Amino acid sequence: MIFANYYQPDRVKNASFEEIDRHHTYNPTFTNRLLRAEFLKRGIELNNPDVNQGRKITFSILHDGQAIENTPEPKYLIATENPYICPLNRDEQYLSQFNGIFTFNRDLLGLPNSTHLFIPNQIRSRPFPTFSERPIFSCLINANKAFPPGFEVDLYKERIRVIRWYESHAPKLFSLYGLGWGKPSPAFTFSEKISRRFKRLATQIYGYKPFPSYAGEIADKSEVYQKTKFAYCYENVADLPDYISEKIFDCFFSGCVPIYWGSHTIEDYIPEGCYIDRRKFHSTEEVHQFLLSINASEYANYQNNIQAFLNSPIAMRFDTTTYVSTIIQKITEDLRL
């Protein structure tokens, strides 16, 4: 048996391959488990480093940029995290130290060791509830997070603008779900932190609700999306090439029409008839008025376009099987395993 290390922050005892991901509510470990299973078919056992102690390591895989001191060579990097959150994922000096990097970021494809790889999803298609079978008009499912002020491509703040607009103008036509919305938004300046502390006390003592539209946490996004006509689907940042995360696919799998804002290259891969492009509107109010104008027939057209896309070869570029086979093929060919 050949042994290889799989480095993932805060993962030990093969937590990277457990069926239940204790670290991320909406990021199941199916992809990692499939990667490990497919390597095992080739006589290669992939483990977190602590499990491999005392064994000869043939290669190492790092999941997102992290310290590489004492990492057994040869080594490969899977860079799927947003580089604004993990800056090493686009640090060319750092990336040059790997035998190979797998990245969605087309701006890095000029590097001699790079391979293009989309963030993976379990592509699937099933019948959708129709327009009339969806009692929730619109929703947003995200965690309550924020970037520091002054970040130009910040879409966390745009989510807040959506929430506040609906709470003020159409509260019955919007529901908010996800982690942390029972608390005020994160604070960065001293005055903001003091204000947030008082608001936190108010939530605990007086039942104050920082976000009145908040409908609670959910275990499965599809439980909401199957009941919802439209979902505000914003990536964490705007204009990052080929950064197309699971967010839009979560909508697609339930036949919920997304209002998308994120990668400026999305139209290169996903037909525009599958989603509503937020960049074409000046405000949430404009978006909302457009949504009100969509009838059942027009909604069905969006759903038909989504179904056609999910059943197309293009969608399979985003599938977990493509992700896994790309990584395994590159490493086994490089090392002649």
pTM as predicted? 0.91
Displacement of CA 179 from its chain's centroid (Å):
15
Q: Is 201 exposed, middle or buried (0-12, 13-18, 19+ CB in 10 A)?
A: exposed
Predicted pLDDT at 202: 65
Note the pLDDT of residue 24: 59
Determine the 3-state secondary structure of 140 from DSSP.
Answer: strand
How confident is the model at residue 254, as a pLDDT? 97
Enumerate residues 6+ apart whose C-beta is below 8 A from 106.
116, 241, 242, 265
Regions in the chain scoring below 70 on pLDDT: 21-28, 187, 190-192, 195, 198-199, 201-202, 204, 206
The pLDDT of residue 250 is: 96
Domain coordinates in residue numbering, the chain:
2-122+319-331, 131-310
pLDDT value of residue 322: 97
268-307 pLDDT, tens digit each: 999 999 999 999 999 999 999 999 999 999 999 999 999 9
Q: At a CB cut-off of 8 Å and minimum separation 6, what does 93 contact?
A: none
Q: So what's the pLDDT on residue 58?
A: 97
In CATH terms, is domain 131-310 a member of 3.40.50.11660? yes
Distance between CA atoms of residues 160 and 240, nearest Å: 20
